[in-house]
A = this chain, B = another copy of it.
């Protein structure tokens, strides 16, 4: 082999520059849009006292698999490391958080509020908008079943969307015990998984097909199945619906507890000054079958509902039962970063730019490189992000660069300006330019780039 392939050919052969199927690069415009959303999420999470944590990308497979399904197993990037350990890349942030909570419980104490913004990997079949590497932005409060934490979760979701700059959105809220209470009353408690699975399809397949599934596979009688569907289709103000549910579940303690918690939630949300139209009770949403046990949240963009929920979550009884005997009830939600970014792009809300700086200092007079570099520093110290073009090329070329990148202002100076002790500041949108002394340059630029 070695002899057959002369060294020259080897080194001349280029390696094809490509990413793996289902993976992608972030170019500056996409990376800046993502950084912006992450910044907002962090600011909102922190404003409520949630602290950041991080966990490794690689864990023992045993931990990540937990009681996971075959589906999970197939989607994991799993391998044997140099020490022959069975390891895998995390496919969500929930199981690592469960492991983390069990491992560090004595250090973190409860209640514990954390956010975790991190990359996860799933070997799913790639398709439009679905990648094998994506980011999750989770926040949770664990170690308490207090309704205050449920209510706060909703406020965080609200502030997230609002601060990202979305005006028209709806947070749909439900409580798993409403339906469970009803099922208990009508004798279907032991078939709740099948009922929920059928009900989950309601928006997609419609009432008749759901009824058929319930009376077929699930094995409910027709009257009970009809009651479940009547329940799922209840409408009106949250207070009205809750009153109807209350009468339907009377006698079921868990059902009434759910009603009372939601009553308190809607009352508090109003007192806190949240726009009532943004928070709706939707007793039909179920969100997964096993995990959530209490409040459930889904968030839809009113102008783009078809993309699905952009921020979902709920309350669970026990986060870390696989790892510790200490019960850890909690509540939280996850911002669908990539889905939201795609939506913002589709809605034209994202301002795309390829430079984080607004100002470009162009180079002209080779004797004055130090002054061009110095003025960049002067502007930065005044809080203005400023790029200095690195080359003495024709100004036309530098102007083209400024156009392509999207700078808002140019700073130009040649022999005349240096003699007179001034700088020319050019507004790239209007084409206007003015000559200003160094002491006034920051103000002149603020007038342009805002």
Q: Which of B60, B144, B356 contacts A391 (CB 8 A)?
A: B144
State A370–B274 Cα separation when bound (angstroms): 12
Q: A25–B103 contact, CB under 8 A?
A: yes
What residues of chain B lie closer than 8 Å to A45, measured between beta carbons?
356
Report the bound CA distance from A391 to B390 in whole Å. 58
Using CB atoms, name the residue of chain B closest to A360.
B49
A373 contacts across to B, CB distance below 8 A: 148, 151-152, 155, 268, 271-272
Cross-chain contact A385 with B24 (CB below 8 angstroms): no
- 0/1 per residue, A378-399, Cβ < 8 Å to B? 0010000111111110000000
For the complex, what is the distance from the CA of A155 to the CA of B108, rounded to whole Å?
A: 40
Determine whether the beta carbon of B141 is less than 8 Å from that of A390.
yes
Closest to A48 in B: B387
Q: Within A247-265, which residues are at the interface with B (CB < 8 Å)?
A: 264
Q: Which residues of B contact A355 (CB under 8 A)?
A: 49, 51
Residues of B contacting A23 in the complex (Cβ-Cβ under 8 angstroms): 56, 58-59
A13 to chain B, nearest CB (A): 9
- Give chain A's interface secondary structure class: mixed
Contacts of A28 in B (CB 8 A): 51-53, 108, 114
Contact across chains for B87 and A20 when beta carbons are under 8 A apart:
yes
Please provide the chain A residues from 311 to 370 with a CB less than 8 Å away from any CB of chain B in the complex.
Answer: 320, 322-325, 354-357, 360, 363, 369-370
Copy count, this protein chain:
2
Of listed A268, A320, A360, residue having the most chain B CB within 10 A: A268
A437 CB, min distance to chain B CBs, angstroms: 18
What chain B residues lie within 8 Å of A370 (beta carbons)?
Answer: 267-268, 271-272
Docked Cα-Cα span, A51 to B107, in Å, equals 38
In the complex, whether A113 has a CB less than 8 A from a CB of chain B is: yes
Contact of A109 with B by CB under 8 A = yes
Flag whether A82 is at the interface (Cβ < 8 A).
yes
Q: Are A46 and B107 in contact (CB under 8 A)?
A: no
A25 to chain B: which residues have CB within 8 Å? Answer: 53-56, 100, 103-104
Interface presence of A149 (CB below 8 A) = yes
* Contact among B19, B27, B123 for A82, CB-based, below 8 A: B123
Q: Mark contacts of A221-234 with chain B using CB atoms, 8 A cut-off: 1 yes-contact digit, 0 otherwise.
A: 00000000000000
Contact B26 A54 (CB under 8 A): yes
Nearest-Cβ distance from residue A400 to partner chain B, whole angstroms: 10
**Those of A14-34 within 8 Å (CB) of chain B:** 14-21, 23-28, 31-32, 34
Is A99 at the interface (CB under 8 A from chain B)? yes
Chain A, range 269-317, C-beta contacts under 8 Å to B: 271-273
- Taking the complex as formed, is A85 at the interface, i.e. its CB lies under 8 A from any CB of chain B? yes
Contacts of A380 in B (CB 8 A): 47-48, 159
Determine how close the nearest CB of chain B comes to the CB of A422; give it in whole angstroms. Answer: 18
Q: Tell me the complex Cα distance, A298–B114, Å.
A: 37
Given contacts A56-B20, A103-B18, A373-B155, whether A49 and B386 have CB atoms under 8 Å apart is yes
Interface pair B17/A102, CB less than 8 Å apart:
yes
Contact A48 B386 (CB under 8 A): yes
User: In the bound complex, do residue B152 and residue A388 qualify as a contact, i.e. CB atoms below 8 Å apart?
Assistant: yes
In angstroms, Cα B85 to Cα A199, docked, is 40
> Which 4 pairs from chain A and chain B are nearest by CB?
A49-B387, A79-B79, A28-B51, A271-B370
Residue pairs across A and B with Cβ atoms less than 8 A apart, 25 shown, are A15-B323, A17-B63, A17-B100, A17-B323, A17-B324, A18-B60, A18-B63, A19-B56, A19-B103, A20-B59, A20-B60, A23-B58, A27-B53, A27-B108, A31-B54, A46-B385, A47-B385, A52-B356, A109-B404, A111-B389, A111-B390, A146-B390, A148-B389, A271-B370, A271-B371
